[in-house]
């Protein structure tokens, strides 16, 4: 276990990051209820904070990553500004992608985020490419693909893992196994539920870790990332539970209350909190963290709502590189054609 | 018997009636059974038809479409579902290299009588990978039929007709039409497979369109009528087969045509139709054939940008006014 996770101080930092994610996601839900989000396709990662924080704290500056559509938490754990994230989710010009991408397409090249993705498995092979470049240029960087258990049934995952192993690339595949791909439980999607065994078959270093204790996740991630940095790519499955429905309008009627109670009892934040108290931290001190985080995330909603929608002429920007001609707007075209008479 | 039905209800009814009528019809796709479909189209069908005919799959689009290809070749009538037409990219090989070509490249030995149901279009701020109109990909591919219903009655009848075709049919619904309700009599006669419907007839111009844009064109035509401009609105219903006879006759009668499509302008459905009208009706045209289509950009999550990036009734009416001026 690394120093970051071995002490109560280390755990406090991990707790704070997990709390930031949960509170942010709660505020995303609030943004939707207030009618200020761009649409309802908001996939919250509540219950899945430990894979985000445990893995991201084992990453280094310069490492790159891609995420799935449920990626808010991962990006926050890699240093995202909640204001710009919330603004993107609201479809505002101050967002990370100028209001064009939204919740499922947040990206920031400055922080190594090569993009969230709305195609299941769609972002995984890019990590192989990024790792290929890291190896070729000797940059020392690792590239990490984050995806859900649902993506484990997409063929592109296996093409990607095979090439990463074949070429000894600094790539890591992190499967956040929240047990549910939309309304399909993992054992309804596959008989091979020991997901890391599949990665082993390609020659990757592979483990499954219980996501309840973020310190365990961090330790496993550090092992896998260290190996990858040395040219031995790896795979980490983190077992956790998707506390709520697939997207905002899904009340998950396909799950029993008993199952949900059991899943939510595996709360990594409650677990970390209990461990902090056991380690001597006062409840009031934890409450102070929670309050501080709540203020930070409240401010993100205010920022998003106060921000402007993108200007209409930005519609034609960034289809191609700056300086290249932009597509001709339809109305301009109609004017040109009909003016000929 | 008239009843009030939504577009969603009509598709569900068509699937249920087809499954009752033919034990070889089955549905296969992501969340079609227990979940009842991402847009609640297949709700209740698992209860009636059971898991062997309402097959929930893993998230494996290539496998879903390929399984349907094989099942169709082996004698059944699969209805494969892609939750979003955007996922067609993942399954493109199975659709375009396999389903579309099997009859031809195997010398006519066997066909692939499957239906690929999916939905597309804007209207939910669902972003660049969940809002596209990709029918041009399908229309471009020889061997694939393509149906895109605009009305509740067509949502029912075109799906029933699709399930009687000897070749693969891609059936694309519009996500913003699912809640659209109409008074319909499903026992009333409808046009045959491959025939367009003239939804409104006028002397001044023809608006050729399909799917949600039919409703927008009719709204525009209503506005125009109040100003004394009478437009014909043709609902293509199927893009392959294409009923060019109906289009040609109306263009020859009015001398002006515009084609409206939600998909991107360049090399899109409107481009194909406009080229064909220009070629075949050249002597009758008083103006260039106008293409009104989606902007040549990806769809933004921002509601304002999303709405402005595809045609709406105002744009159609404005263009029509100037075309007849």
Q: How far is B287 from chain A (nearest CA, A)?
A: 9
CB contact under 8 A, B304 and A310: yes
Q: Which of B30, B61, B173, B262 is catalytic?
A: B61
B222 in active site: no
pLDDT for position A191? 97
Q: What is the mean pLDDT of residues A125-134?
A: 98
Q: Can you give the pLDDT of all 325 residues of chain B as single tens digits?
A: 899 999 999 999 999 999 999 999 999 999 999 999 999 999 999 999 999 999 999 999 999 999 999 999 999 999 999 999 999 999 999 999 999 999 999 999 999 999 999 999 999 999 999 999 999 999 999 999 999 999 999 999 999 999 999 999 999 999 999 999 999 999 999 999 999 999 999 999 999 999 999 999 999 999 999 999 999 999 999 999 999 999 999 999 999 999 999 999 999 999 999 999 999 999 999 999 999 999 999 999 999 999 999 999 999 999 999 999 8
In the structure, what pLDDT confidence band is assigned to residue A6 with cuts at 50, 70 and 90? low
Does residue B92 belong to the interface with chain A, where contact is any CB pair within 8 Å?
Answer: no
Q: What is the mean pLDDT of residues A273-295?
A: 97
Q: How far is B289 from chain A (nearest CA, A)?
A: 10
The minimal CB distance from A101 to the residues B86, B87, B301 is found for: B301
Size of interface A-B (CB pairs under 8 A): 153
Does residue B293 belong to the interface with chain A, where contact is any CB pair within 8 Å?
Answer: yes
Instruction: Name the packing angle between helices A155-166 and A124-137 (round to 10°).
Output: 10
Q: Which of B130, B157, B174, B180 is catalytic?
A: B130
Does residue B307 belong to the interface with chain A, where contact is any CB pair within 8 Å?
Answer: no
Q: Average pLDDT, whole number, for chain A?
A: 96
In the structure, what pLDDT confidence band is assigned to residue A339 with cuts at 50, 70 and 90? confident
Does residue B123 belong to the interface with chain A, where contact is any CB pair within 8 Å?
Answer: no
pLDDT for position A249? 87
pTM: 0.96
pLDDT in tens, A50-63: 999 999 999 999 99
B280 in active site: no
Distance of alpha carbon A172 from alpha carbon A133, whole angstroms:
14
In three-state form (DSSP H/G/I as H, E/B as E, the rest C), the secondary structure along A246-303 is: CCCCCCCCCCCHHHHHHHHCCCHHHHHHHHHHHCCCCHHHHHHHHHHHHHHHHHHHHH
pLDDT for position A1? 47
The percentage of residues in chain A with a pLDDT greater than 70, rounded to a whole number, is: 98
pLDDT for position B76? 98
In the structure, what pLDDT confidence band is assigned to residue A248 with cuts at 50, 70 and 90? confident
Q: What is the mean pLDDT of residues A97-107?
A: 97
Query: How many Cβ atoms are within 10 Å of A248's Cβ, its own excluded?
Result: 20
Of A340 and B164, more confident: B164
Q: How far is A300 from chain B (nearest CA, A)?
A: 18
CB contact under 8 A, A39 and B125: yes
| Phi/psi of residue A244, nearest 5 degrees | -120, -170
Q: What residue spans of B52-99 are helical by DSSP H?
A: 61-73, 92
Q: Which residues of B touch A120 (CB under 8 A)?
A: 59
The minimal CB distance from A338 to the residues B265, B297, B323 is found for: B323
pLDDT for position A340? 61
- DSSP result, B263-311: EESTTSHHHHHHHHHHHHSGGG-SSPPEEEEE-SSPPPSSHHHHHHTS-
Q: Is A329's pLDDT higher than 90?
A: yes
In the structure, what pLDDT confidence band is assigned to residue A7 with cuts at 50, 70 and 90? confident
CB contact under 8 A, B86 and A118: yes
**Structural domains for chain B:** 3-184 (3.40.50.970), 197-324 (3.40.50.920)
pLDDT in tens, A212-234: 999 999 999 999 999 999 999 99
pLDDT in tens, A68-79: 999 999 999 999
Q: Which residues of A touch B127 (CB under 8 A)?
A: 39, 41, 101-105, 118
ipTM for the predicted complex comes to 0.94
CB contact under 8 A, B86 and A119: yes
Distance of alpha carbon A134 from alpha carbon A170, whole angstroms:
7
Query: How many Cβ atoms are within 10 Å of B273's Cβ, its own excluded?
Result: 27
Q: How far is B131 from chain A (nearest CA, A)?
A: 11
The minimal CB distance from A183 to the residues B34, B58, B301 is found for: B34
The answer to whether residues B279 and B228 touch, using CB atoms and an 8 Å cutoff, is no
- DSSP result, A84-136: HHHHHHTT-TTSTTTTSS-GGG--BGGGTB----SSTTTTHHHHHHHHHHHHH
Q: Which of A279, A335, A333, A314 is nearest to A9 (CA)?
A: A279
């Amino acid at each position: 276990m690394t120093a970051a996770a071995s002490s109560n101080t280390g755990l406090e930092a991990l707790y704070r990051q997990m709390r930031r994610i949960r509170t942010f996601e709660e505020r995303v839900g609030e943004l939707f209820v207030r009618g200020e989000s761009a649409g309802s396709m908001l996939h919250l990662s509540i219950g899945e904070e430990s894979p985000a924080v445990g893995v991201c704290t084992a990453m280094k500056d310069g490492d790159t990553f891609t995420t799935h559509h449920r990626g808010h938490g991962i990006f926050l754990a890699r240093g995202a500004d909640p204001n710009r994230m919330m603004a993107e989710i609201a479809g505002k010009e101050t967002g990370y992608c100028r209001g064009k991408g939204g919740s499922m397409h947040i990206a920031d090249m400055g922080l190594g985020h090569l993009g969230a993705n709305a195609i299941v498995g769609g972002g995984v092979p890019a990590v192989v490419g990024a790792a290929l470049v890291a190896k070729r240029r000797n940059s020392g960087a690792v590239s990490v693909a984050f995806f859900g258990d649902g993506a484990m049934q997409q063929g592109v995952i296996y093409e990607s893992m095979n090439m990463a192993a074949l070429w000894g690339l600094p790539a890591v595949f992190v499967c956040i196994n929240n047990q549910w791909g939309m309304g399909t439980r993992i054992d309804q999607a596959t008989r091979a539920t020991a997901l890391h065994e599949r990665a082993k078959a390609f020659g990757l270093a592979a483990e499954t870790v219980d996501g309840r204790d973020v310190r365990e996740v961090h330790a496993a991630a550090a092992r896998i990332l260290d190996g990858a940095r040395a040219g031995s790519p790896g795979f980490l499955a983190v077992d956790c539970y998707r506390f709520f429905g697939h997207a905002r309008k899904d009340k998950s009627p396909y799950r029993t209350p008993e199952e949900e109670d059991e899943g939510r009892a595996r709360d990594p934040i409650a677990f970390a909190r209990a461990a902090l108290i056991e380690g001597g931290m006062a409840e009031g001190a934890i409450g102070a963290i929670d309050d501080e985080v709540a203020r930070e995330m409240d401010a993100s909603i205010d920022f998003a709502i106060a921000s402007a929608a993108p200007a209409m002429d930005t519609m034609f920007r960034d289809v191609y590189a700056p300086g290249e001609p932009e597509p001709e707007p339809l109305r301009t075209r109609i004017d040109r054609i009909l003016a000929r008479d | 018997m008239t009843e009030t039905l939504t577009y969603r209800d009509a598709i569900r009814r068509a699937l249920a009636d087809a499954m009752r009528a033919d034990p070889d019809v089955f549905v296969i796709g992501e969340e079609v059974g227990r979940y009842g479909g991402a847009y609640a189209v297949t709700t209740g069908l698992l209860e009636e038809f059971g898991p062997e005919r309402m097959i929930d799959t893993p998230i494996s689009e290539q496998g879903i479409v390929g399984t349907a290809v094989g099942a169709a070749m082996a004698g059944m009538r699969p209805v494969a579902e892609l939750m979003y037409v955007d996922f067609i990219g993942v399954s493109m090989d199975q659709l375009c290299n396999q389903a579309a070509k099997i009859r031809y490249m195997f010398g006519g030995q066997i066909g692939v009588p499957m239906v690929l149901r999916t939905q597309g279009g804007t209207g939910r701020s669902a972003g660049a990978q969940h809002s596209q109109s990709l029918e041009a990909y399908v229309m471009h591919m020889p061997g694939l039929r393509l149906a895109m219903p605009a009305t509740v009655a067509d949502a029912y009848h075109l799906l029933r007709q699709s399930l009687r075709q000897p070749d693969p049919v891609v059936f694309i619904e519009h996500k913003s039409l699912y809640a659209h309700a109409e008074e319909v009599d499903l026992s009333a006669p409808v046009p045959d497979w491959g025939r367009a419907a003239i939804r409104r007839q006028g002397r001044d111009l023809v608006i050729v369109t399909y799917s949600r844009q039919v409703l927008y064109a009719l709204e525009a035509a209503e506005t125009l009528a109040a100003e004394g401009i009478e437009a014909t609105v043709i609902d293509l219903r199927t893009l392959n087969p294409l009923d060019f006879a109906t289009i040609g006759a109306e263009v020859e009668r009015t001398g002006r045509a515009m084609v409206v499509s939600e998909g991107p302008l360049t090399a899109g459905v409107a481009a194909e139709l406009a080229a064909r009208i220009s070629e075949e009706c050249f002597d009758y045209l008083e103006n260039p054939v106008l293409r009104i289509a989606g902007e040549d950009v990806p769809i933004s999550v921002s509601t304002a940008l999303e709405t402005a990036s595809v045609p709406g009734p105002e744009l159609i009416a404005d263009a029509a006014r100037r075309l007849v001026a």
